[in-house]
Amino acid sequence: MAPILLNCMENEHNDYIKQQVQVKNPYLDTMEEDILYHFSLSTKTHNLPEMFGDIKFVCVGGSANRMKAFAQFMHHELKLPGIPEDIKDICEGTDRYCMYKVGPVLSISHGMGVPSISIMLHELIKLLHHAQCRDVVLFRLGTSGGVGLAPGTVVITDKAVDYSFRPQFEQVVLGKVITRSTELDEGVANELLQCSSSQNIPTVIGNTMCTHDFYEGQGRLDGALCSFSHEEKLEYLRKAYEAGVRNIEMESTVFAAMCRVCGLKDRQKYTSVLSKNLQHAASFTKISVSS
């Protein structure tokens, strides 16, 4: 599934915003050193433009092993010199996330849930900014639970939505709730849909619901706690389906919101989430960013 996405994005590359990745924090420029704590990288100890300046695609997913396997797969697909098994974890100085660079592709793990991916995204966006990367496309390759779909269906996200099926992400800042949009890019979703049709993979475009919990949050009956009946669960999932939800996972809203805030507001070209084998999902967004 993943190479299909990357091939597709590369073909359409000229459509992307030719901009350097930017951050939305005036304090960063005044700092003598920026430490990317959870990557074990810093602007003082590492030459980020030299290490990462040629990055065009960033693929993120929850599991460290998956993202290593994906990097090895990309190494093979891109026919890069050397042995895929020898690729090195750039973040080996920390066990929070793993990161592999294969040519213009960066493969990073982000753990489970919004807080974990959010920390990773702060540091990733800063890294791409410091490295002066341009025209970067960001994908999430993950797993998800399908809603009303046959197992194995790939879901390309139209909108990332919250538990109330709203396309928004709520972040508490200084004790106040800030709401950020998670609207996504239609054009990119359609590109991916076209790619899947050429590969004969069952694929739909639909909304992806992001929850803060795998069990009760997703209407599961098999957690340590369950405060609802089977009928109530089905009713909620039915409402979700009617609202256009086709899969459920745990990172898409913050992924979409952060990339959007760091992007061209008027372009609104953003995320998607894919799900495969009931459980394989990928979300993607452009983070070609402007002021």
Ligand X SMILES: O=P(O)(O)O[C@H]1O[C@H](CO)[C@@H](O)[C@H]1O
Ligand Y SMILES: O=c1cc[nH]c(=O)[nH]1
- Residues interacting with ligand X, by CB under 6 A? 61-63, 112-113, 142-143, 214, 249-251
Looking at beta carbons only, is 36 or 210 nearer to ligand X? 210
Q: Work out how close the CB of 92 gets to ligand X at its nearest, in angstroms, rounded to a whole number.
A: 21
Q: Work out how close the CB of 86 gets to ligand Y at its nearest, in angstroms, rounded to a whole number.
A: 31
Q: Is 207 in the site for ligand Y (CB under 6 A)?
A: no
Residue 142 in marked binding region: yes
Residue 220 in marked binding region: yes
Site for ligand Y in 155-184 (CB under 6 A): none
Residue 218 in marked binding region: yes
Residue 141 in marked binding region: yes
Looking at beta carbons only, is 40 or 143 nearer to ligand X? 143
DSSP the chain: -HHHHHHHHHHTGGGS---B---S-TTGGG-S--EEGGGTEETTTS-HHHHHTT--EEEEES-HHHHHHHHHHHHHHTT-SS-GGG---TTTT-SS--EEEETTEEEEE--SSHHHHHHHHHHHHHHHHHTT-BS-EEEEEE--EESSS-TT-EEEEEEEE-TTS-SEEEEEETTEEEEEE----HHHHHHHHHHHHHHT--EEEEEEEE-S-SSGGGT-SSSS---S-HHHHHHHHHHHHHTTEEEEESSHHHHHHHHHHTS-TTT----EEEEETTTEEEEEEE-----
Q: Work out how close the CB of 97 gets to ligand Y at its nearest, in angstroms, rounded to a whole number.
A: 19
Q: Work out how close the CB of 35 gets to ligand X at its nearest, in angstroms, rounded to a whole number.
A: 26
- Residue 63 binds which of ligand X, ligand Y, none (CB < 5-8 A, kind-dependent): ligand X
Query: Could you tell me which stretch among 17-25, 101-109, 237-245, 246-254 binds ligand Y (CB under 6 A)?
Result: 246-254
- Residue 62 binds which of ligand X, ligand Y, none (CB < 5-8 A, kind-dependent): ligand X
List the binding residues for phosphate. Answer: 96, 140-143
The residues of the shown chain that bind ligand Y, judged by CB under 6 A, are 143-145, 214, 218, 248-250, 279
